[in-house]
Chains A and B, each alone.
Chain A
Amino acid sequence: MTTTDTPDLSISEAADLVRKRKLSPIELTQACLERIAALDGRVRAFITVTREDALASAQQAAAAINSGNYKGPLHGIPIALKDLFDTAGVRTTAGSKIMAERVPTEDATVTERLKAAGAILLGKLNMHEFAFGATGLNRHYGGTHNPWGLDRMSGGSSSGSGAAVAAGMAMGALGTDTGGSIRIPSSLCGVTGLKPTYGRVSRRGVVPLSWSLDHVGPLARSAADAAILLKAIAGRHAGDETSGEVPVPDYTKALVDTRLKGVRIGVPDTFFFDNVDAESLDAIRAALFLLRDMKAQVDEVSLPHSAEAPQAVAAIMLPEALAYHHRWLAERPGDYGEDVRGRLELALLFPAVTYVEAKRLRTLISDEWRASVFDHVDLLAVPTTPVPAPSLDDDDLQTTLTLTRFTGPFNLAGLPAISIPCGFTSAGLPIGLQLVGRWWEEATVLRVAHAYQQATDWHKRTPTP
């Protein structure tokens, strides 16, 4: 292994070397910074690179480890954050002109927790403006290009998070997911992304898009790495009343058992397989056959109200986003990108009764899926997106609606859902499989994803942008 290759290590592999003092956090951080310098002019994954801070943190980590104070698997590991997470002393733009000069005085809860775990923060990642779109194309900071095809979008809204991890510019990243914004860039960029249960991770210090639908979670090279990141950031914080008082298990320990005998996987009989790209469909079917070969029980299930779920996501997300942006939309409309401004204006057309009906649908879906679906299966398996990475030219509302079609329903339901690579198209674009578990059972989602990744190598492939 050369220094040039070190950013392509998994977190687990790098952590093992760091713990044994065979790899220095300084060397690892420098390698990521060199990768950023070499590639980010083409990929545009970062809005801000905190080079000096990162190197200083790496030196501190190296000194601590050398003196026997090893904190755990994130100690000395270079990570990057979507530019929606507050970072004390480092500007947090939310991908916007409106917050372009905003420098928080406090860290978000997840920033604090990553720092406490010893992670090295490389910088702030590009994103769809205010996380309000799934293409990741940003009018103020430039669109993120997909490392697997620079003429393709990386997906969003956590566009830089997906692209940075795929290209080895960071060993892991955090993103947010309101309608699919962790899972979509994970699918389009060929990485692993987990949206945990609603309330599993505190959103204190995260610029909101839609309070009822926003989730925070990790993007990484593998389910094993996502498990390490989730363990570090999960758990209640009193500053976020929606974060749940639910014990956080050791997700890495849950990965030890890779046997799938007895695991019941449900495949929805409608909606989630409608109008799916043919090559993507073939890859998903092949993944399901493999899971069956691995002794999982795979059966069709019905998911009531799936078809109305995307409408409910829109009916909640749009008015809540408008409520957050109301004053700026009235006073500074020209400071928004045209796409985001148009979506905020579209929100004006959603009546209050429809918002309340959408909240009622969330309750109905929770009740019915718990009783009629998750009493019979442990997981659902569906495509993450109906199509692989679209062209950068396809930047419109319809593309966002297409990309979020199979992810949004699980934001409404608040269920934990992971996207893992399960193949490539003939054009060399990644395809994502989405596994969805019961509320609070991220450990099962990660365990099955990890078992699949032990039997395949899709997640180990790396692009050459």
Chain B
Amino acid sequence: MTDTKRCCIVVIRNVFSVKMQDNPRDTVRRIAALAGVQLAEERSADLALSLPFAQVAVAALAAVDYRDADPGAPFPPRPKATP
């Protein structure tokens, strides 16, 4: 557990690629519970149907080559200086 960043990524990848396939309802219920939101059985079932939507975003953003892009860079860019 010394490399926290790597551990988090492993957990997330497992949740989304393995557990979800085994029992999507249970997966979403557990994720919600982790955030303190209790989902009834029918809501877990409905939310499980939305997993592909999240998966598409996760996969699309995981595939980008970010190079050295800093998520905390000043935004938006300042106006060009006028002479």
| Minimum CB–CB distance for A212 against chain B, Å | 8
Is there contact, CB below 8 Å, between B51 and A349? yes
- A321-353 interface mask toward B, CB cutoff 8 Å, 1 = contact, 0 = none? 010001001100100000000100110111111
**Interface hub of B15, B57, B77 (most chain A Cβ within 10 A):** B57
- B30-43 interface mask toward A, CB cutoff 8 Å, 1 = contact, 0 = none? 01100111110001
Is there contact, CB below 8 Å, between A360 and B71? yes
**Complex partner residue of B61 from A312, A342, A346, A366, CB under 8 angstroms:** A312
List of B residues within 8 angstroms of A308 by Cβ: 60-61, 64
Is there contact, CB below 8 Å, between A349 and B50? yes
Assuming the contacts A345-B39, A348-B37, asked whether A353 and B9 have C-beta atoms less than 8 A apart, the reply is: yes
List of B residues within 8 angstroms of A440 by Cβ: 76, 78-79
Is there contact, CB below 8 Å, between A346 and B66? no
| Minimum CB–CB distance for A438 against chain B, Å | 8
Say if the beta carbon of A179 comes within 8 Å of chain B: no
Q: Could you give 12 example pairs across A and B, Cβ below 8 Å? A: A198-B76, A244-B78, A315-B57, A326-B35, A342-B46, A345-B47, A346-B47, A349-B54, A350-B54, A353-B8, A354-B57, A439-B77
| Minimum CB–CB distance for A316 against chain B, Å | 10
| Minimum CB–CB distance for B32 against chain A, Å | 5
**Complex partner residue of A366 from B37, B51, B54, B75, CB under 8 angstroms:** B75
List of B residues within 8 angstroms of A333 by Cβ: 37
Interface residues of B in 16-64 (CB under 8 A from A): 16, 28, 31-32, 35-39, 43, 46-47, 50-51, 53-54, 56-58, 60-62, 64
List of A residues within 8 angstroms of B9 by Cβ: 353
Is there contact, CB below 8 Å, between B61 and A198? no
List of B residues within 8 angstroms of A363 by Cβ: 69-71, 73, 75
List of B residues within 8 angstroms of A364 by Cβ: 64, 66-67, 69
Is there contact, CB below 8 Å, between A246 and B64? no
Please report the total number of A residues contacting B with Cβ < 8 Å: 45
Interface residues of B (CB under 8 A from A): 8-9, 12, 15-16, 28, 31-32, 35-39, 43, 46-47, 50-51, 53-54, 56-58, 60-62, 64, 66-67, 69-73, 75-79
| Minimum CB–CB distance for A309 against chain B, Å | 10
List of A residues within 8 angstroms of B66 by Cβ: 357, 360-361, 364
List of B residues within 8 angstroms of A326 by Cβ: 35-36
List of A residues within 8 angstroms of B71 by Cβ: 356, 359-360, 362-363
When chains A and B are docked, how far (Å) is the Cα of A348 from the Cα of B32? 6
Say if the beta carbon of A314 comes within 8 Å of chain B: yes
**Complex partner residue of A197 from B53, B64, B76, CB under 8 angstroms:** B76
Nearest neighbor of B53 in chain A, beta-carbon distance: A346
Is there contact, CB below 8 Å, between A366 and B77? yes
List of A residues within 8 angstroms of B69 by Cβ: 360-361, 363-364, 367
